[in-house]
C-alpha cells in the first residue's frame, strides 16, 4: 500500500469517527429530550389523575358530606380507640334508639328517625334502583341527542357528517341526577335534576308507572325549579282512617276571635298536615263533586264546625239551599235563610242579591273590600245538590237560579259573599257556573272522564285519581286550583250527627240572628 492509499484510508476513517462522534452527541441530546418529554408526560398524566381524584373527593364531600364525615369519624375512632370500642358503642347507641322509638315514636322520627331513614334509603334503594326505574318508565334521554343538536352550528359539512355519525354510534343514555332524599313519616321525597330535553310534565304523566316501580299505591310529582322535580312516594297512607273534625267549642269568646275565615280547618292532607279552606276572600267560591256516599257532607260541615264562634258572633251569616231536604235541614237552626224548592231558592238568591247591591251603594268609592263586621258579615251560601236546580227543573227557574248564582260568584268576593256548591254529576250542562267556582274538590267520582270535569285538564295525569278512591273512604278527595300547583289528596273531617246538633245549639244559644225563610218573606234581605 502506497502513501496515497494510506492517507485516503486515514481520512475516511477519521471522517467516520467524526460522524460517529457527532451522532453519539446528537443521540445523547435526543435521548435527554425524549427522557424529559416522557417525564413531562408522566407528570402530566399523574397531575391530571390527581386533579380528577381531588375533584371526585370534593364532589363527594359536597354531595355526601354527612356520610363522609361519618366515615371519617369512624376511621378516627377505630384508629384511636380500636374496633372493640366501636362495636360496643354502636350496640349501646342502637339500644338507646330502639328504646326511644318504642317510648316516643313521634319524637324519635322528628329528631332522628327521618334522617337515618333518608340516608339508608338513598344508598340502599334509590341510589341503586332509581336510574333503572326512570329508564324503564321512559324518563331518560339518549346521549346522542345533544351532539346531534350541537352539530347544526358547524360550518364544515364534512365535520358535521363526522360528528353526526359519531353521535349515532353512541348507545348510552342520560339519566336525571339524584340530588337528595328526604323521608317523612309516610312519604319519601326524591329530588332529581332533569337532563336537557325533559320537562316536569314528562314526570307527571309517568306518576302511575313510577308508583308501580316503587311498589307503592301513590306517587306525586312536584315541580321545585324549572329543571328540578321532587318525586314523592307514599309509603303509608295517613288518610286510611277517618279524620275527626274540630270539637264544637264550649266556652270561647262570643266575638268570633280566634277564627281565621281565610284558612278554616277542614281535615287533613296526605302529608299529615291540616287541610284548611277559605270561607272568604280569594278562592273561597268552591265546587265539591262526588258520587253518592263520597263524603260531601263532611266537606260541607267540617269547616262550619271550625267557624262556629264566628257564626255565633254574627260575623258569618249562613244561607242554605237544600233541594233534597236531608242534609242542611239537620242543622237548619244555623241558617238565617233556608229553602228547599226552586221558588224558595230564588227568594234566598234575591235576598242575597239585594244585600249585595246595598253594599255596593254603601262602599263604592270608599274601599276595595268590605271590612268584616257584624253589620256587614260574610254571607256564606251552602248550595247542596246544586245540579237539581241548575239542570233538573223547569227552564225559567233554572235560568233565573243560574243567573243569580253567577252574579254572586263574579261580584261577591270583595263584598264578602261566598258560594259553596255540591254536585254528583259535574258536567258543564249540570253546573253551568262551574268555571266561576275556582276552588275544586273532587271526591270519589264514577269514571276517569269526570276528573278533568271537576279539576281541569291534566289533573288525572298529574295524580288526581279520584275514580280510584275506595267506596269505604268517605271524605277522601283531591284538591287543585287557586295556588295549588299539584293535585293534593285530602280527607275532610267526619262530622257525626250529634256534633251537628251541638253546633246548632251552640250557634242559636249564642244569640246569633237566625231568621227563617217564613219570617223573611217580603223583606229586602238584610236580616
Distances (CA, A) of 384 to 291, 293, 424, 501, 524: 13, 14, 10, 19, 24
Residue 150 CB contacts under 8 Å (≥ 6 apart), including other chains: 163
Instruction: Determine if residue 38 is labeled as part of a ligand binding site.
Output: no
Instruction: Determine if residue 297 is labeled as part of a ligand binding site.
Output: yes
Q: Identify any residues that bridge with 312 across adjacent strands, giving them in sequence order.
A: none
276-289 residues labelled b (16+ CB within 10 A) or e (exposed): bbbbbbebbbbbbb
Q: Report the C-alpha gap between 200 and 221 in whole angstroms.
A: 8
CA distance from start to end of the chain: 149
Residue 237 CB contacts under 8 Å (≥ 6 apart), including other chains: 186, 217, 218, 270
Three-state secondary structure call for residue 352: helix
Q: Report the C-alpha gap between 112 and 119 in whole angstroms.
A: 11
CB 307 within 8 A of CB 261: yes
Three-state secondary structure call for residue 224: strand
Distances (CA, A) of 299 to 384, 408, 438: 11, 21, 16
CA 179, chain centre distance (Å): 18
Q: Report the C-alpha gap between 289 and 484 in whole angstroms.
A: 18
Place of cell 380528577: 52
Q: Report the C-alpha gap between 361 and 371 in whole angstroms.
A: 15
Instruction: Determine if residue 283 is labeled as part of a ligand binding site.
Output: no
Instruction: Determine if residue 272 is labeled as part of a ligand binding site.
Output: no
Q: Report the C-alpha gap between 162 and 159 in whole angstroms.
A: 5
Instruction: Determine if residue 145 is labeled as part of a ligand binding site.
Output: no
Sheet holding 335-339, edge to edge: 274-277, 264-269, 484-492, 476-481, 439-442, 286-289, 417-423, 378-383, 316-321, 335-339
Q: Report the C-alpha gap between 280 and 301 in whole angstroms.
A: 16
Instruction: Determine if residue 293 is labeled as part of a ligand binding site.
Output: yes
Q: Please report, in range form, the residues annotated as the binding site.
A: 290-297
Q: Please report, in range form, the residues annotated as the binding site for ATP.
A: 290-297
Amino acid at each position: 500500500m502506497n502513501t496515497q492509499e494510506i492517507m485516503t484510508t486515514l481520512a475516511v476513517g477519521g471522517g467516520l469517527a467524526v460522524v460517529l462522534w457527532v451522532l453519539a452527541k446528537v443521540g445523547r441530546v435526543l435521548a435527554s429530550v425524549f427522557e424529559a418529554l416522557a417525564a413531562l408526560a408522566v407528570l402530566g398524566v399523574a397531575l391530571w389523575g390527581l386533579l380528577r381524584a381531588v375533584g371526585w373527593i370534593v364532589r363527594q364531600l359536597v354531595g355526601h358530606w354527612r356520610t363522609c364525615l361519618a366515615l371519617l369519624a369512624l376511621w378516627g375512632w377505630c384508629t384511636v380507640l380500636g374496633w372493640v370500642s366501636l362495636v360496643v358503642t354502636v350496640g349501646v347507641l342502637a339500644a338507646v334508639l330502639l328504646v326511644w322509638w318504642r317510648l316516643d315514636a313521634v319524637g324519635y322520627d322528628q329528631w332522628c328517625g327521618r334522617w337515618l331513614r333518608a340516608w339508608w334509603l338513598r344508598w340502599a334503594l334509590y341510589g341503586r334502583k332509581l336510574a333503572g326505574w326512570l329508564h324503564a318508565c321512559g324518563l331518560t334521554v339518549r346521549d346522542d341527542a345533544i351532539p346531534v343538536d350541537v352539530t347544526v352550528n358547524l360550518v364544515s359539512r364534512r365535520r358535521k357528517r363526522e360528528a353526526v355519525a359519531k353521535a349515532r354510534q353512541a348507545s348510552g343514555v342520560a339519566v336525571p341526577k339524584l340530588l337528595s332524599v328526604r323521608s317523612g313519616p309516610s312519604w319519601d321525597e326524591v329530588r332529581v335534576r332533569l337532563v336537557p330535553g325533559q320537562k316536569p310534565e314528562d314526570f307527571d304523566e309517568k306518576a302511575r308507572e313510577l308508583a308501580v316501580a316503587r311498589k307503592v299505591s301513590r306517587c306525586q310529582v312536584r315541580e321545585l325549579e324549572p329543571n328540578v322535580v321532587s318525586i314523592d312516594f307514599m309509603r303509608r297512607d295517613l288518610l286510611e282512617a277517618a279524620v275527626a273534625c274540630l270539637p264544637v267549642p264550649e266556652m270561647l269568646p262570643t266575638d268570633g276571635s280566634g277564627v281565621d275565615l281565610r284558612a278554616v280547618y277542614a281535615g287533613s292532607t296526605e302529608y299529615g298536615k291540616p287541610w284548611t279552606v277559605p270561607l272568604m276572600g280569594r278562592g273561597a267560591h268552591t265546587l265539591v263533586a262526588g258520587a253518592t256516599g263520597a263524603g260531601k257532607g263532611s266537606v260541607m260541615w267540617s269547616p262550619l264546625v271550625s267557624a262556629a264562634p264566628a257564626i255565633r258572633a254574627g260575623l258569618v251569616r249562613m244561607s242554605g239551599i237544600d233541594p233534597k231536604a236531608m242534609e242542611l235541614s239537620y242543622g237548619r237552626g244555623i241558617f238565617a235563610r233556608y229553602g228547599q224548592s226552586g221558588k224558595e231558592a230564588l227568594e234566598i238568591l234575591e235576598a242575597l242579591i239585594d244585600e249585595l247591591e246595598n253594599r255596593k251603594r254603601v262602599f263604592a268609592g270608599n274601599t276595595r273590600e268590605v271590612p268584616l263586621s257584624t253589620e256587614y258579615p260574610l254571607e256564606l251560601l251552602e248550595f247542596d245538590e246544586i245540579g237539581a236546580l241548575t239542570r233538573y227543573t223547569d227552564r225559567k227557574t233554572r235560568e233565573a237560579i243560574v243567573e243569580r248564582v253567577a252574579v254572586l260568584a263574579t261580584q261577591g268576593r270583595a263584598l264578602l259573599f261566598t258560594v259553596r256548591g255540591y254536585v254528583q254529576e259535574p258536567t258543564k250542562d249540570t253546573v253551568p257556573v262551574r268555571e266561576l267556582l275556582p276552588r275544586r274538590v273532587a271526591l270519589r267520582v264514577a269514571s276517569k272522564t269526570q276528573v278533568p270535569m271537576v279539576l281541569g285538564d291534566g289533573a288525572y295525569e298529574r295524580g288526581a285519581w279520584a275514580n280510584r278512591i275506595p267506596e269505604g273512604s268517605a271524605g277522601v278527595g283531591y284538591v287543585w286550583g287557586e295556588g295549588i300547583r299539584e293535585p293534593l289528596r285530602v280527607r275532610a273531617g267526619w262530622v257525626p250527627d250529634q256534633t251537628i246538633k251541638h253546633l246548632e245549639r251552640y250557634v242559636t244559644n249564642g244569640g246569633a240572628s237566625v231568621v227563617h225563610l217564613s219570617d223573611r218573606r217580603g223583606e229586602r234581605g238584610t236580616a
